[in-house]
Amino acid sequence: MKKLSYFVLLVLFYGSGCSSEDQKPEENPTIAPEEESVLTPQNVRTYISDPNATDETVALFYNLIKLSKTGFAVGQQDAFNAFYQNNSGDSDIKKTTGNDPALLGSDFMFITDKNNTGEASNWFHQQEIIITNDVKEAYSKGMINIFCWHLREPNHEESFYASDMTDTEKATAFRSLLPGGANHDWFKLKLDKVALVLNALKDANNKSIPVIFRPFHEFDGSWFWWGANYCTPEEYKTAYRFTVDYLKNTKNVHNVLYAFSPDNSYATEANYLSRYPGDRYVDVLGMDNYGDLNNQGSAGAGRANAKLKILSDLANARIKIAALTETGYQVTVSNPVIPNWFSDYLYTTMTGNNINLAFVMFWNNSNNGYYVPTPSSSNAADFIQFANKQKSLLQNELPDLYHIGN
């Protein structure tokens, strides 16, 4: 069992009701043996989206697929800088469990903002430095790094929400990014900045730090301007493919795994793949799902599990990583705690029906609400019980993900 703070141990003892069956054995889970899959160290580059990826990036792809057979990494968006009630310091996950998350989520939003001047005194540039330093810290701890991109729309660069745009802007913005479109060059400049940052992510030995990138996420909804109402499936595929090709072939970015990350609207394999750009462009098959787990009880957990089963089976067949790329239930003044949300509903969602997932990411905590409880929260014991279950892995339990063993 993990080493937990004295306070957390008290919470566990008096409040968790955690049975011995929920606890992990002393040894950490290991990478699954390679005979369980057609994937081998020798053929791994034939399945990855970038055959010229760095060795460490290839190892991350290989090891996450193997890891998913025995456990999943538990992470959070902006874990090192977003805290409930602005209680800074260690991540809220570490405050509650005694260990850092296994995965850190970041965003290119401020990095590519039009107001980022690159000057030391510029707030947006300061955020860029914070974000990139966090990525380096996470990698030094053996953690996984993943980026989303809340890209501002190209007309005014003020918002990523479709609700802030006119009908004409919504109908034309995404299409304008495509080759030959009015904002194609604008989009390439944004990708140039992304590439500059990715290529500059180096560890202490000046080696590139691998990251997962999930462009145009939650595309099956229409709250973002790249959503399903504003482009056809082929237009979406074209933009996704251009993004990957431009980064790896034009900008020589070779430290990225690419994630396909819809929301939870699909119910069939065909629906999930309706905007899929192809195996040559995708390494991670993911899903963001808040709705099915938003106080929907066991019925919601069952729906979420069925959707994860679809992508898990697809990932197994296509030799890809499967993941729950975003989820959570935000506790606020108006949203009370759901008892056993983590240890029962979420864990069952992620593990039932022979599902194999490599990671789960909770959204960031904020001053007014939390997705991951702090030690004084009434559901802290529930999260600790979830974290201590057999398949849940925090940073201290991760194997070496960046090297492939002999």
Question: What letter represents residue 266's amino acid?
Answer: Y
Three-state DSSP class for 207?
coil
Please tell me which residue in 56, 128, 153, 218 is annotated as part of the active site.
Answer: 218
C-alpha count within 13 angstroms, C-beta hemisphere, residue 273: 12
Helix (H) or strand (E) holding 74: strand 72-77
CA–CA separation, 125 and 122 (whole Å)? 5
Work out the angle between the directed axes of helices 184-200 and 123-140 (0-180°, nearest 10): 50
**With contact defined as beta carbons under 8 Å apart, do 356 and 69 qualify?**
yes
Amino acid at 124: F
Strand partners, 161: 224
Q: Which residues pair with 145 in a beta bridge?
A: 104
- Transcribe 262-328 into DSSP letters: --S---SHHHHTTT---GGG-SEEEEEESGGGSS-HHHHHHHHHHHHHHHHHHHHHHT-EEEEEEE-
49 to 12, 252, 320: CA distances (angstroms): 43, 14, 10
The question of whether 119 is a catalytic residue gets the answer no
158 is catalytic: no
β-pair partners for 213 = 147, 258
Partnered with residue 224 across adjacent β-strands are: 161
- Name the active-site residue from 56, 128, 153, 326: 326
- Torsional sign, CA 228, 231, 232, 235: negative
Give the C-alpha separation, 380 to 291, whole Å. Answer: 22
Residues 202 and 255: beta-carbon distance below 8 Å: no
Q: Which positions are catalytic?
A: 218, 326
